[in-house]
Amino acid sequence: MTTLPTHKVLCAAAIITLAAACVPKSKHEETLNELAGVSQEYETTASTLAEANERIANLEAVGAERNHRLDICEASIRNTIRDTEERQRLLDEARAELIEVATQLELSNSELNDANRALGVERSARVNTEEQLAAGQSERAALMERIERLNQIEAEAREQNRIYQDMLGRFQALIDAGQLSISIENGRMVLNLPQDILFDPGSARVGDEGRSALSSIARVLAEFPDRRFQVEGHTDNVPISTSRFPSNWHLSAARALSVVEILQENGCYPGNLSGAGYGEFRPRAGNDTREERALNRRIEIVMVPNLDIITTP
C-alpha cells in the first residue's frame, strides 16, 4: 500500500470541500466516503509507519548493542592477539634459552664424559698405586721377615762359633793327642775321629781307646741339651763283603750306631742323637794311597744346625 504524505491528504480534503459546493449531493457523499477511506488508510498507514519506525529503532538499538558487543569482541581479540604475540615472544625467548641450555648441557655432558674418563684413569692409577703399595707392603713384610731370619741365622752362627770355641778349649787334649779334630764345614761344626782309634779293620766294635775318647766327648755334648748331633760313618773304597757287612754302607752305618750307643750311655739325650752311614761315597781325599784311604775312614759327629731358623720358606 502507498502511503500519502499528510499535506497531500489535507489538500485533497480542501479540494473536495470546495468542490462540494459545485457537485451533486450523491457525488459529494461518494467523495466523502472516499475521503473517509483515505483517512482510514492514512491512519492505518501512520500506525504501520509508527510500528515500522519502532521496529527500526529497536533494530538500530539491537545493531548498536551488537556493534558494542562487536567492539568488545574486537578489543578482546586485539588483546588476545597481543597476549598471543607476547606469549609467542616469551615462547621464542624460552625456546632460545632452552636451546642455549641444551647447548650448555651438551657441553656439560661432554665435560662430564671427559671428567668420567679422567676419573676412570685416576681410579685405575689409584688401583695400580694401591696394588703397588700392597705389593710394597708385602715385599717390606717379606724383607722384614727375611731380615729377622737373617738375624736369627746370624745369632745361630754366633752361637755355633761360641760352641766351637768352647769345644776347642775343652777338647784340646784330644786334639793334641791326634784323637780328634774340629772344623766348621758348610755351616756345620764337625768333630772328626779317625777310624783307626775307634775300630779294628772290618769291625764295628769300639775299642778301649776309642771308648775313652767318646766318653770324654759325650760328657761335653751332654751340656748342650738344645742341640742335636748326628753321627756319620765313612769308609774308604776298599770293598767289603761278609755275612754281617755285605757292603761298606752296612759297615759305616753299624759303626755310626755303635758310637751313638756310647754317647747315650755317657749322658747324651737319645732324642738329640741320630746315626747315618755314607760308605765310601763322601771321601775327604782320594783313595789312591794308604794315607788318603786313612783320611776317608772316619767317624764324624756333626752338630746339626737349627733348621727352623736357617731354612728359608
Instruction: Please tell us whether the domain made up of 171-310 is placed in CATH 2.60.40.10.
Output: no
User: Rounded distance, CA 292 to CA 100, Å?
Assistant: 104
Q: What is the model's pLDDT at position 12?
A: 60
Helical (H) or strand (E) element with 8: helix 6-20
How many Å is the Cα radius of gyration of the chain? 73
C-alpha cell belonging to residue 257: 750306631
Rounded average pLDDT per 10-residue block, the chain, 313 residues: 57 59 72 82 86 87 84 82 83 84 84 88 89 89 85 84 92 92 92 92 94 96 95 96 95 98 97 97 95 95 78 55
Helices then strands, each counted (H, E), the chain: 7, 5
Q: What is the model's pLDDT at position 183?
A: 93
User: Rounded distance, CA 104 to CA 108, Å?
Assistant: 6
Long-range (24+ apart) CB contacts under 8 A made by 223-226 are 224/163, 224/303, 225/269, 225/272
Backbone angles phi, psi at 183, to 5 degrees: -150, 165
Sheet holding 181-185, edge to edge: 181-185, 188-194, 298-304, 228-234, 273-277
Q: What is the model's pLDDT at position 312?
A: 55
Threshold 0.85, pTM exceeds: no
Q: What is the model's pLDDT at position 230?
A: 98
User: Rounded distance, CA 313 to CA 309, Å?
Assistant: 10
Domain borders along the chain are 171-310
User: Rounded distance, CA 282 to CA 257, Å?
Assistant: 18
SS (H, E, C) 146-187: HHHHHHHHHHHHHHHHHHHHHHHHHCHHHHHCCCCEEEEECC
Q: What is the model's pLDDT at position 171?
A: 93
User: Rounded distance, CA 163 to CA 172, Å?
Assistant: 14
Of the candidates 2, 9, 11, 12, the residue with the CA atom closest to the CA atom of residue 45? 2
Q: What is the model's pLDDT at position 70?
A: 77
